[in-house]
Amino acid sequence: MTIGATTGDHGYDRATAVKQFDESKIGVKGLVDAGATTIPPFFIHPPENLPNSIPSTALPASDIIPVVDLTGVDSDRRSRIVEQIRDASREFGFFQVINHGVPSDVINRTIDAIQAFNEQPTEVKSQLYSREMGRGVTFSTNVDLFKSKAASWRDTIQMRLGPTHPDFEHIPDIFRREVLEWDHHSKRVGEVLMEILSEGLGVTPERLKELSCLEGRVMAAHYYPYCPQPDLTLGITSHTDPGVLTVLLQNHVGGLQVKYGDEWLEVKPVPDAIVINIGDILQIISNDEYKSVEHRVLANPHRESRISIAIFMNPGNREDLYGPLPELISPEKPALFRQFQLGEYMKKFFTKELDGKTMVNFFRL
């Protein structure tokens, strides 16, 4: 198969190899199942984009990325929780929450269901394989496979969750109930966090909800199987999330890293914790108070697969104007970004590959 050719092969045609791989609908898990001992050349990243050492910091990762206990969020502990989340959002753009009210069995069932889908026979999974979101749920390798300079070693289920779910029968039975239950819980957690983040900015608790920031929701459930050459590729290349807030489950197989200055810090898996990160739109709305930071996932060197399930929370009103909150603008701190309609913003996002800070920079004044 051409997709297995090496970079040294004479006449290697990358475009054809990518097309053949995509049309095979087997995903990277299919390559592993077929016994691949090397990765196809279009998965190989330039050395400057690959990690030199893992982890790159001398400090334990669990001591760096904050873990915030939400116990008593409606009690006199609230001001302390607001302060912790505000500080984490300013400095790291990432934090984890525990005691968030989502039952442990809901988290575990959701992770197990996504794993079960990906570990079905290829001929079963391939029926869902598509790059068109017409039915609201798809399965594919790399959303930006045809735009990126190098592919990453993961398969992904994408599903529209808000403002409406896909038709019930279009959601595979193997994860249907679990994902819809997780969406219900994650929306509640998102609502609590958006109130806290609003308070951290000094505006009313409902401010982000009033901007419809909970209404547009999309799930990306990533499956990172064993990679035979993990030093040559990535699970997800360095990028920022374009939306408002990302709410993420990850299993115990690590690999998620956050850029902090010149360092890459591991977001160490914590049992039953939910990983939260600030998206580009929230950085813009907060007028640079909160930071949307670059993050990546390393290729998985373990025989055990890594699972992560992200729900991206975005505004639901495409015609409204978004930009820095007027309450945060003053002569001392003028607006740092221009206003935009969501339609313009998303069109820009979908015409670029997954990389860097270009969304924030594109709207910066």
The pLDDT score that the predictor gives to residue 12 is 82
Pull the structure tokens for residue 78: 């609230």
The pLDDT score that the predictor gives to residue 318 is 80
DSSP label of 253 = -
Q: Answer whether residue 358 shows pLDDT above 90.
A: no
Distance, in Å, from the CA atom of 341 to the CA atom of 7, rounded to the nearest integer, reads 43
CA-to-CA separations, 22 to 75, 86, 155, in angstroms, rounded? 52, 42, 11
The pLDDT score that the predictor gives to residue 357 is 59
pLDDT digits (tens, 9 = 90+) for 88-99: 999 999 999 999
Distance, in Å, from the CA atom of 195 to the CA atom of 204, rounded to the nearest integer, reads 8
pLDDT digits (tens, 9 = 90+) for 273-311: 999 999 999 999 999 999 999 999 999 999 999 999 999
Distance, in Å, from the CA atom of 96 to the CA atom of 69, rounded to the nearest integer, reads 9
The mean pLDDT value of the chain amounts to 92
**124/319: higher pLDDT:** 124
For CA atoms 268, 51, 144, 42, give the dihedral sign: negative
Distance, in Å, from the CA atom of 90 to the CA atom of 65, rounded to the nearest integer, reads 12
pLDDT digits (tens, 9 = 90+) for 161-186: 999 899 999 999 999 999 999 999 99
Domains and CATH numbers, the chain: 2-362 (2.60.120.330)
**Cβ 99 vs Cβ 130: under 8 Å:** no
